[in-house]
Structure 1
């Protein structure tokens, strides 16, 4: 390595998104987010009425008021393993079954460090080598995507537990939707709250792929390889509640 390079030069070489130029819409969102950070509104602990987190490469762009912070922490090869082993149909896991992953999630710096128990896990699903968790950390609900028992692909604060508002019967909301990575390691996720009578949620991508989301404990969540989580309305959310089925674009969800 050239000894004349400073630390920032060396980091730039390692940035997987260094050749990606944000779209005009992404620049607009990024500028709006910076303005909210400066005036303090992006740090509000109250639940915003609409929240979207778009994560592309190493930059986070917010749509609407944001009270959560995305903190990707990639382990070399972990994301590639997760994407390569991904399945459209998840396997449900209990808190006891994913306790090692829950403890690793609790020990990271998102929303503070805690000690997890099986009861803290609200939703857990397995797709290949990756485990997606929605769990409590103190008074905050967080999401973690883990590879194996401890290689964290990403972790994100979602909402203060005291601020949760249960959606009306037969409906879901959208807490966050994001994408991260580059090329073959690009992946997306989507997370929201679900009414107690919601029995199933599907994510149908505009390319025809249907992803079965997990639904448990008032939450629904899914992740998949691809960029749709960082794009505007390139997927549909299909909600099943009893005999009723409704289809929504993400922008239509509260």
Structure 2
């Protein structure tokens, strides 16, 4: 017990009270676990390449990839730093494929369920509502490279004006199929978000319907603070390490 007491004193978060958003995420996670099977893995913010996915906050959201051999490699090979925005109508086949997956429960989808959709090469990234849960899917045509749950739809709280938060940041796969992603909420007045990698590559994120998201080839999503997030809000620009985002 003496050793445990000493370790407790070294805890950098000792005495810290979780924010209202962190409590909301934690409660949403507990409700999901009680309603269905326990998640395969969860952690505070990051996991290394090949891991499931990582949600921000005191407790991570459910995150279960549905890996399809060859699909991730095709997505990575055709990747572009700048995305093309898509509407729900334009990605309805992909939305229905995402809805048919196990993450968040098998259901149907319509165009209105799609909150954010982008195209990078052959791959489509979706943020969409699914049975009361916000999920993310990466697909090539209608084949999923991965899908993961983010947060309960009724637990979404917009950040303050001109700011963003971090909901999930992860790295999956290996070799030619390794890729990273980052997803968060945006507050009012945010017009653009960019991700600058350690090698200087600038990835333009998609921003729509209160969400921002980006993905790219490489391991940075599973590493701590190897990238910078730049937020544009009117004439104000701010840059943050992922660990600095709420």
**CA positional deviation for 1:64:** 5.1
| Matched ranges for 1:97-112 at <5 A | 97-112=90-105
How many residues align structurally? 211
**CA positional deviation for 1:45:** 3.9
Partner of 1:166: 158
Distance 1:42 1:194 in 2: 20
Give the one of 225, 249, 253 matched to 2:241. 249
Provide the alpha-carbon RMSD of the alignment.
Answer: 2.1
Distance 2:110 2:48 in 1: 29
Partner of 1:213: 205
Distance 1:163 1:41 in 2: 9
- CA 61–215 in structure 1, closer or farther in 2 if over 3 Å, else same: closer
**CA positional deviation for 1:41:** 8.6
Partner of 1:178: 170
Is this contact kept in 2: 1:42–1:65, CA < 8 A?
no
Structure 2, unmatched stretches of 5+, are 1-25, 33-42
User: Which 4+ stretches in 1 moved above 4 angstroms?
Assistant: 40-43, 58-64
- CA 75–153 in structure 1, closer or farther in 2 if over 3 Å, else same: same
| Matched ranges for 1:7-18 at <5 A | none
- CA 217–127 in structure 1, closer or farther in 2 if over 3 Å, else same: same
Is this contact kept in 2: 1:55–1:61, CA < 8 A?
no
Partner of 2:73: 80
Structure 1, unmatched stretches of 5+, are 1-39
- CA 239–85 in structure 1, closer or farther in 2 if over 3 Å, else same: same
Q: Secondary structure of 1:70's match?
A: coil
Is this contact kept in 2: 1:54–1:63, CA < 8 A?
no
Is the aligned partner of 1:123 residue 2:109? no
Distance 2:188 2:53 in 1: 32
| Matched ranges for 1:28-107 at <5 A | 43-45=29-31, 52-54=45-47, 56-57=49-50, 65-107=58-100
Is the aligned partner of 1:195 residue 2:195? no
- CA 201–56 in structure 1, closer or farther in 2 if over 3 Å, else same: same
Give the one of 125, 130, 140 matched to 1:132. 125
Partner of 2:138: 145
Q: Secondary structure of 2:93's match?
A: helix
Is this contact kept in 1: 2:54–2:170, CA < 8 A?
no
Distance 1:147 1:54 in 2: 24
TM-score when normalising by structure 2: 0.81
Render the CA deviation track for 1:97-149: whole Å, top value 9, x for unaligned: 0000000000111111111000000000000010000000021100000111x
Distance 2:64 2:169 in 1: 14
